[in-house]
Amino acid sequence: MKNSLSEKKAKLQEIKHQLPPAIVQKFMLLAIVLLALPMSVLLIQRRTELALKAQEQLVRLYFSPSQIPDSSDMFMRVMADAQINQLSFARIVMTFDPTKLSLSQELQTTGLLKTSVAKTSMQEANNTGRIVIVLGLDPGDRNSPPTALFELAQLTFSSKTTQSNQTTYLNFDNPDMQMVDIQAANLSISGENTSIVLNPSTTGTLTGRVTDMNTNAPVAGASVSVKVAGSKGKSGLVTTATSDASGVYMINLEKGSYDVEANASGFSAVKLSATITDGATTTLDFSLPPKGGGKGPKPR
């Protein structure tokens, strides 16, 4: 037996020595590739499984709508995108600034997680600026747990400030939240905060400079009158302003379209149009032609 093994080994060594070195190297490289291939396949499969598992476990929370219209009551939905996860338990924690916002109604929770374990009252939320909702799956709903995209709660806020363009935030307290699937596995949570502009401004600024068309010198004391666009006579008059020593005027107006006219002693009147938008400054300059083609009165 030993002689037989020795003979085989000797024959292999003889074949190896007879083969060119390049061929031997190719055989060795092929053997290494063949040995490494199963391991590479296993690693790729493992990475794919981990990526799918991470996707399964992530639950996205957000507020809807993302933009709140200007109104006395601001209605918000707390939404959950569970993807393919099937939820059995949720602890949601949200915070807000109670000096700027207050709940105007008791919060409402979803009917998909019917067991209400804990829910912050309107009074407590307005005192602390913190909302906690703890919900569980009813045993009778175990065969149809909530999944994919669904509503968790409804919140109705009102503003506590009268100042214009005040920005405040609704936040999820991610470290203090928990979501569990029907297999009792903890899920990762991604809470997306949102901002709210309270009492958004509905006014803008109209400003400009009144000058002499011929000399470009400022016209002080020019009267700038603003009328609703398309109106006739004095009935559509909104306001008037007077240019200063530098020929500059400035008027705050509600958003909308206007006809604006500038006139001054010794000059012909000029009428232009302007559109005012929220919180923006619109520039409208006037170049007045002197009456009779002269240079107009000298600036004082």
Claim to verify: residue 165 and residue 257 sit in the same structural domain: no
* Average pLDDT of span 110-114: 90
Pairing of strands 115-119, 286-288: unpaired
User: Is 21 a domain residue?
Assistant: no
Claim to verify: residue 257 and residue 161 sit in the same structural domain: no
Where residue 282 falls among pLDDT bands split at 50, 70, 90? very high
pLDDT at 50: 45
pLDDT tens digits along 46-85: 555 544 554 457 999 999 987 765 556 899 999 999 999 9
Claim to verify: residue 162 and residue 268 sit in the same structural domain: no
Q: How far apart are the first and last CA of the chain?
A: 126
Q: Which residue, of 198, 219, 246, is where some domain finishes?
A: 198
User: Is 6 a domain residue?
Assistant: no
User: Is 269 a domain residue?
Assistant: yes
| 177 closest CA partner among 286, 87, 287 | 87
Residue labelled with tokens 């979803």: 110
DSSP string, 270-296: EEEEEEE-TT-EEE--EEEPBGGGS--
Q: Are 246 and 210 in contact (CB under 8 A)?
A: no
pLDDT tens digits along 205-264: 999 999 999 999 999 999 999 999 988 777 789 999 999 999 999 999 988 999 999 999
Number of domains, the chain: 2
Claim to verify: residue 150 and residue 269 sit in the same structural domain: no
pTM for the structure as a whole: 0.60
Cβ within 8 Å of residue 131, ≥6 positions away? 92, 93, 94, 95, 96, 103, 107, 120, 125, 155
pLDDT at 121: 97
When the pLDDT of each residue in the chain is averaged and rounded to a whole number, the result is 85
* Average pLDDT of span 108-135: 96
Claim to verify: residue 277 and residue 160 sit in the same structural domain: no
Cβ within 8 Å of residue 67, ≥6 positions away? none
CATH number at residue 268: 2.60.40.1120
SS3 53: helix
User: Is 4 a domain residue?
Assistant: no
Claim to verify: residue 261 and residue 226 sit in the same structural domain: yes
pLDDT at 54: 43
Q: Which residue, of 168, 198, 228, is where some domain finishes?
A: 198
Claim to verify: residue 77 and residue 184 sit in the same structural domain: yes
User: Is 3 a domain residue?
Assistant: no
User: Is 51 a domain residue?
Assistant: no
Claim to verify: residue 183 and residue 223 sit in the same structural domain: no
Claim to verify: residue 155 and residue 66 sit in the same structural domain: yes
User: Is 235 a domain residue?
Assistant: yes
User: Is 93 a domain residue?
Assistant: yes
Claim to verify: residue 210 and residue 160 sit in the same structural domain: no
Q: Which two tokens stand for residue 287?
A: 């170049």
Q: Which two tokens stand for residue 39?
A: 């391991």
Claim to verify: residue 90 and residue 149 sit in the same structural domain: yes
SS3 139: helix
| DSSP E strand boundaries for the chain | 58-64, 74-95, 101-103, 108-109, 115-119, 130-136, 147-159, 166-172, 178-181, 188-192, 194-198, 203-212, 223-228, 237-242, 248-254, 256-263, 270-276, 281-283, 286-288
| 191 closest CA partner among 100, 79, 101, 40 | 79
pLDDT tens digits along 147-190: 999 999 999 999 998 887 888 999 999 999 999 999 999 999 99
Percent of the chain residues past pLDDT 90, beyond the cut = 63
Q: Are 137 and 113 in contact (CB under 8 A)?
A: yes
Residues constituting the chain: 300
Percent of the chain residues past pLDDT 70, beyond the cut = 76
CA distance 286 to 212: 9
CATH number at residue 72: 2.60.40.680
Domain of residue 109, residue span: 58-198
Q: Which residue, of 173, 198, 223, is where some domain finishes?
A: 198
User: Residue ranges of the alpha helices (H) in the chain?
Assistant: 2-18, 21-57, 122-128
Claim to verify: residue 158 and residue 215 sit in the same structural domain: no
